[in-house]
């Protein structure tokens, strides 16, 4: 922005007012440059007798037109001061945005959006399709595989990771047809994909591997549990996020070009909470993105504040201190990350994706719960703008110099924005539908939207909490929370998968809710939402196991319908029937009877020897035991037990008093059997 400042002075002459021209300062247009690149600052439109420049980096020069090179990235205010004929002065500023030189080879990352020429491609997980959008309209929808999750491009080839069909699909975008469907290991649950020069890498969530496909041969690299989002930097390093931080710290897996496997730790922030920050564990690392200059790896995530609670810290959490959206920055050369370098976001419970301007000077951070995009100056870390309410639970971003595209997943749209002026939140240039036919019923879609939406003040007061923030994809977040203030205790998050809502019986570790609609208690309580019930209905149903809540709220009923769709658990990649005999002989089936491997429907609880003081209560009353968790899908839900104290299935079995007589061989057999369920 050019500010033209005029200096005038007035005087009287024979009763008239005479204006005398004085100093005029015009610093010229704002500029962009790379580090060490010489820029010319042009003040020749100014008027005066002396011209002085302060470059904003401690250096200065004299003259109307000057040259300067900056040695560090940042936004610099180059101030021109002009002295007038009367000795007065005026100033004007030109902002010089300095960025590091981009790498010769651009980094790539998996995302739910991809752009090839002027065409936008988008995944539709529930519809099993990929959509092609041109000029703001859906032009084509390709049935590609079961549950496509992310995309990546290499030239004109678009790769799709297919979670439920265990495939990598390749689309020739010039033809609009699938050229390859590569079968990956059964039950491996592919998620992230990146590629360069015809070589593709895919994260296999279930097996803890990365698959490499060069067009003819398929090979695998073991990295560790839960690999999810993927990226490839300029040097060919493969990066993958570990989705859930079950051991109290975030982690990025790294595969070097020579095949060496390592990792980068994102430590827990133990500094405590303030008005604008929270401590916690970086969790749900969905994606990552190397900066254009290769110096930084950006990781959108959230602080899950499991460090706070009446039992663990003496202070109960609230809706502002339980979850907070965070952008972590990894020093790519050192391979380190510090909580000191994280950007935390007020009233944003999660960050899921990040995009950069082509020069890396601007960052766009996507908050799925609220549907907002935060715009940051990459060098100063200052918020310079926002894009509000892009849609319900957006999951993908794509930035060009002038435009930003947002995949608003549960609104079933891709939204385009002009980002040349972000002094106010821009209105959409267009919204394009991603589907030709909605795969979910109206009720289930509404329930899924309610489950994910933290922008609705009925759900939460300030945009921090939605059900999906602790039950992503309807699963578990891998963490143990302190619910002592809720009349419970330490509680390991349970997965919704396989439970069909309350199809297996009451929910939670103590069976304290017998309807999904009972989550109105959490919504009005720790979420600080206004609730989906009328106050009269809430007064009648506020006892969790009392008067039925169903039928009193369209949104709660829809959320219950959505929860009821989780009728199966993901198949285990280690399925086996061996150990079934040892399982039965040890009496495990007494509480875990097949086929559901739980007696939860009987509304009984058991003390298996793990009741401790930290186990808390049930509905504010003494705790008599725990509801039996299903063993279906247990292979994917570590850690185990109500307090998350068992990191492995074998450790969970050993914690049972009844397991004291098992020898090591029997224990191993039973653990292997459960791992395969």
Residue that is written with structure tokens 């080839």 in the block: 157
81 Cβ contact partners less than 8 Å away, ≥ 6 residues apart: 25, 51, 52, 53, 54, 89, 90, 91
Domains of the chain, by residue range, sit at 5-99, 101-232, 445-675
pLDDT at 126: 98
Q: List alpha helices for 611-659, DSSP H.
A: 649-654
Pairing mode, if any, of strands 65-69 and 403-408?
unpaired
Using the CB atoms, write b or e for 500-525: b if 16+ within 10 Å.
ebbebbbbbbbbbbbbbbbbbbbbbe
Q: How many CB atoms lie within 10 A of CB 100?
A: 21
d(C-alpha 458, C-alpha 520), whole Å: 10
d(C-alpha 5, C-alpha 8), whole Å: 10
pLDDT at 368: 98
Q: Which of 472, 493, 495, 448 is nearest to 284 (CA)?
A: 472
Cβ contact 667:661 at 8 Å: no
- DSSP calls for 486-523: GT--EEEPPP-TTTTTTTTSSBTTTT-BSSGGGGHHHH
Same fold yes or no, 5-99 and 101-232: no
Cβ contact 561:444 at 8 Å: yes
Is the torsion defined by CA of 597, 603, 608, 609 positive or negative? positive
pLDDT at 15: 37
Specify which residues 202 forms β-bridges with. 193, 211
Residue that is written with structure tokens 């000077």 in the block: 361
Q: Which of 333, 324, 342 is nearest to 267 (CA)?
A: 342
- Domain 5-99: CATH architecture, name and number where available: Sandwich (2.60)
d(C-alpha 604, C-alpha 589), whole Å: 15
- DSSP calls for 597-613: T--GGG---B--S---G
Tokens of 306: 């499991």
d(C-alpha 651, C-alpha 640), whole Å: 8
d(C-alpha 287, C-alpha 112), whole Å: 10
- Domain 101-232: assigned CATH number: 2.130.10.10
Pairing mode, if any, of strands 31-34 and 89-99?
parallel
pTM for this entry? 0.92
pLDDT at 620: 86
Q: What share of the chain is helix, strand, coil (3-state, %, to 5)?
A: 15, 40, 50
List, run by run, the mean pLDDT of 10-residue segments along the chain (677 residues): 33 36 89 92 95 95 95 92 91 93 93 96 98 96 97 97 98 94 97 97 98 96 98 97 97 96 97 92 98 96 96 94 97 96 95 96 97 95 95 97 97 97 94 97 98 97 95 96 94 97 94 94 95 96 92 98 97 92 94 95 92 92 93 96 96 94 93 96
Cβ contact 354:364 at 8 Å: yes
d(C-alpha 446, C-alpha 411), whole Å: 10
pLDDT at 402: 95
pLDDT at 376: 96
425 Cβ contact partners less than 8 Å away, ≥ 6 residues apart: 385, 386, 387, 388
- Enter the DSSP assignment of 616: -
Q: How far is CA 638 from the centre of its chain?
A: 20
Using CA atoms of 174, 176, 177, 181 in order, give the dihedral in degrees to the nearest 10. Answer: 90
Cβ contact 570:206 at 8 Å: yes
Span between the terminal Cα atoms of the chain, in Å: 63
Q: Is residue 660 helix, strand or coil? A: coil
Cβ contact 232:210 at 8 Å: no
Question: Helices then strands (H, E): number in the chain?
Answer: 7, 44
Q: Which of 613, 638, 631 is nearest to 623 (CA)?
A: 613
Tokens of 17: 């007012």
Task: Classify residue 542 as exposed, middle or buried by CB count within 10 Å of its CB (0-12, 13-18, 19+).
Answer: middle
pLDDT at 241: 98
pLDDT at 107: 95
pLDDT at 86: 87
């Amino acid at each position: 922005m050019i500010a033209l400042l005029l200096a005038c002075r007035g005087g009287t002459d024979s009763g008239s007012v005479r204006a005398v021209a004085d100093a005029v300062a015009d610093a010229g247009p704002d500029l962009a440059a790379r580090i060490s690149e010489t820029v010319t600052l042009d003040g020749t439109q100014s008027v005066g007798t002396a011209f002085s420049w302060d470059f904003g980096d401690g250096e200065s020069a004299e003259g109307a037109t000057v040259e300067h090179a900056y040695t560090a990235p940042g936004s610099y205010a180059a101030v021109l001061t002009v002295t007038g004929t009367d000795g007065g002065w005026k100033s004007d500023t030109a902002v010089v945005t300095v960025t590091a030189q981009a790498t010769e080879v651009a980094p790539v990352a998996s995302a739910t959006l991809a752009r090839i020429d002027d065409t936008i491609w988008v995944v539709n997980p529930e519809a099993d399709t990929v959509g092609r959008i041109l000029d703001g309209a859906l032009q084509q929808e390709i049935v590609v595989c079961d549950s496509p999750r992310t995309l990546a491009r290499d030239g004109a080839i678009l790769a799709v990771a297919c979670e439920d069909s265990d495939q990598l699909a390749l689309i020739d975008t010039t033809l609009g047809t699938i050229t390859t469907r590569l079968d990956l290991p059964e039950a491996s649950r592919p998620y992230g994909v990146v590629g360069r020069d015809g070589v593709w890498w895919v994260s296999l969530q279930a097996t803890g591997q990365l698959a490499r496909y060069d067009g003819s041969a398929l090979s695998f690299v073991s990295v560790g549990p839960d690999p999810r989002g993927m990226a490839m930097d300029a040097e060919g390093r493969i990066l993958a996020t570990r989705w859930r931080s079950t051991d109290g710290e975030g982690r990025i897996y790294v595969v070097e070009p020579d095949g060496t496997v390592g990792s980068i730790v994102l430590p827990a922030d133990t500094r405590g909470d303030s008005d604008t920050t929270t401590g916690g564990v970086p969790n749900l690392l969905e994606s990552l993105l190397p900066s254009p200059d290769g110096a930084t790896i950006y990781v959108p995530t959230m602080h899950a504040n499991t460090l706070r609670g009446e039992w663990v810290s003496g202070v109960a959490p609230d809706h502002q201190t339980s979850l907070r959206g965070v952008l972590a920055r990894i020093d790519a050369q050192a391979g380190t990350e510090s909580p000191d370098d994280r950007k935390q976001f007020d009233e944003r419970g999660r960050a899921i994706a990040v995009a950069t301007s082509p020069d890396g000077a601007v960052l766009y951070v996507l908050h799925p719960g609220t549907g907002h995009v935060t715009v940051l100056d990459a060098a100063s870390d200052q918020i310079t703008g926002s894009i509000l309410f892009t849609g319900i639970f957006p999951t993908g971003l794509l930035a060009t110099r002038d435009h930003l595209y947002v995949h608003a997943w549960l609104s079933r749209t891709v939204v385009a924005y002009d980002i040349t002026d972000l002094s106010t939140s821009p209105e959409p240039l267009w919204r394009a539908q991603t589907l030709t036919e909605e795969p979910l019923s109206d009720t289930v879609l509404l329930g899924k939207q309610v489950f994910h939406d933290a922008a609705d003040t009925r759900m939460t007061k300030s945009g921090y909490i939605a059900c999906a923030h602790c039950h992503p994809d309807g699963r578990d977040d891998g963490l143990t929370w302190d619910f002592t203030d809720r009349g419970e205790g330490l509680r390991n998050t349970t997965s919704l998968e396989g439970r069909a809502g309350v199809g297996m019986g009451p929910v939670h570790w103590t069976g304290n809710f017998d309807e999904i609609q009972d989550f109105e208690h959490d919504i009005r309580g720790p979420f600080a939402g206004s609730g989906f019930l009328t106050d009269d209905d809430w007064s009648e149903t506020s006892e969790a196991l009392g008067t039925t809540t169903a039928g009193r709220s369209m949104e709660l009923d829809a959320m219950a319908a959505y929860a009821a769709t989780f009728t199966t658990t993901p198949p285990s990649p280690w399925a086996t029937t061996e150990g079934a005999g040892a399982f039965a002989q040890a009496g495990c089936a007494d509480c875990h009877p097949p086929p559901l491997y739980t007696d939860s429907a009987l509304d009984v609880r058991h003390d298996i020897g793990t009741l401790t003081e930290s186990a808390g209560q049930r509905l504010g009353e003494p705790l008599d035991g725990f509801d039996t968790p299903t063993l279906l899908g247990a292979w994917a839900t570590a850690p185990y037990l109500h307090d998350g104290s068992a990191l492995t299935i074998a450790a969970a079995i050993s914690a049972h008093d009844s397991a004291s007589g098992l020898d090591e061989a029997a224990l191993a057999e039973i653990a292997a059997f459960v791992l395969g369920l």
